[in-house]
Amino acid sequence: MVKINENIRFIRKQLGLTQDQFAQKLGIKRSLVGAYEEGRAEPRLDLLQLMATFINSSVDKIIGENLTEATMTVSFDNNRDYSRGREVLVVTVDENSKDNIELVPHKAAAGYMNGYADPEFVKELPHFKLPMLKQGTYRAFEISGDSMLPILPGTIIIGEYVDNLKDLKNGKTYVLVTRQEGIVYKRIFNYLEQNGKLFLVSDNRQYAPYQLEGDEVVEAWSAKAYVSVQFPDVADKSDSSVEQLAGVVLDLQKEIQQLKAERPKK
């Protein structure tokens, strides 16, 4: 039996929206979205028609088919300031329509760059649950290299999806899926408002910070937890302080500005 409430929840998650954001796009209160998804109320026909346009489908399919078993083509304009190559996040759900946490192993990283927007590719990724995480959309990435010591190579970083790059917090760590650099795990300093760039800093000071154009970022995931079979050595945390890292970024900015000032004018 088709459950319309599960289809509505699935549509929202395919669009990569919170209940509040989905409600704004529908022009209704967030509480109504919650009621629809929990089966306590049924949406009007005009709302179903609007939802159908979001997924290039029809009202008949929303009320007559199990969308969680279908391959969907989603088209949605979220009016983002920094485009990440697509407008929706592909997610998978369990038998209770709850989000899975998909795992992107290191060996699948290259494939993920081509398949992140392909429902069939994402569906084939390993997935698991972590009940201690609060409600949200999460994905796990196996990191490589030693640029973020004491987080060791092979550690799995679990990140929460960040819908808008402007929400990236200075000094926090994120997994970024980027067009040129691939999948990177770095500490971020957000200068999108000033010059449209992000500064990426490694906790291992042997690696130099660098800047990245905001529109190079396809997906951003805020690090919330990690899984590792090795315990990191945290004997000296002073070198990883946010204050020192901020100083590194400011010094780098000054160097860039100085280089621009010294550049001969044409």
Digit-coded pLDDT (tens) for 2-61: 688 888 988 888 888 888 888 888 888 888 888 898 888 888 888 888 888 887 788 888
Are 117 and 244 contained in the same domain?
A: yes
Q: Show which of 69, 90, 110 is a domain's final residue.
A: 69
Are 40 and 153 contained in the same domain?
A: no
Domain count, the chain: 2
Residue 241 has pLDDT above 90, yes or no: no
190 vs 254, which has greater pLDDT? 190
182-190 long-range contacts (CB < 8 A, ≥24 apart) are 182/109, 182/110, 182/113, 183/104, 183/109, 183/112, 183/113, 183/141, 185/141, 185/143, 185/147, 185/148, 185/151, 185/157, 185/223, 186/147, 186/148, 187/148, 187/245, 189/245, 189/246, 189/249, 190/165, 190/166
* Residue 72: predicted pLDDT: 53
Q: 50-95, pLDDT tens digit by residue? A: 888 887 788 888 888 888 765 555 544 444 344 333 345 788 888 7
* Residue 153: predicted pLDDT: 93
In a domain, 81, yes or no: no
* Residue 25: predicted pLDDT: 83
In a domain, 80, yes or no: no
* Residue 233: predicted pLDDT: 64
118 vs 140, which has greater pLDDT? 140
Q: Show which of 69, 90, 111 is a domain's final residue.
A: 69
Residue % of the chain over a pLDDT of 90: 32
Are 133 and 33 contained in the same domain?
A: no
Mean pLDDT of 159-172: 92
In a domain, 76, yes or no: no
Are 108 and 167 contained in the same domain?
A: yes
Are 179 and 122 contained in the same domain?
A: yes
* Residue 79: predicted pLDDT: 44
* Contact assessment for residue 80 and residue 214, using Cβ atoms and an 8 Å cutoff: no
Are 122 and 45 contained in the same domain?
A: no
In a domain, 121, yes or no: yes
Are 117 and 236 contained in the same domain?
A: yes
Distance CA(82)–CA(94), nearest Å, equals 31
Are 182 and 252 contained in the same domain?
A: yes
Residue 184 has pLDDT above 50, yes or no: yes
Are 138 and 15 contained in the same domain?
A: no
Name the burial class of residue 89, with classes exposed (0-12), middle (13-18) and buried (19+) by CB atoms within 10 angstroms of its CB: buried
Q: How confident is the model at residue 190 (pLDDT cuts 50, 70, 90)?
A: very high
Are 154 and 225 contained in the same domain?
A: yes
Are 114 and 63 contained in the same domain?
A: no
53: domain CATH number is 1.10.260.40
* Residue 2: predicted pLDDT: 67
In a domain, 237, yes or no: yes
Are 39 and 108 contained in the same domain?
A: no
In a domain, 107, yes or no: yes
- Starting at the earlier edge strand, list the strands of the sheet with 172-178: 127-128, 101-104, 138-142, 156-161, 217-227, 172-178, 182-191, 197-201, 210-213
Does the reported pTM lie above 0.85?
no
In a domain, 95, yes or no: no
147: domain CATH number is 2.10.109.10
Q: Could you list the residue range(s) of the whole structural domain that residue 121 is in?
A: 101-261
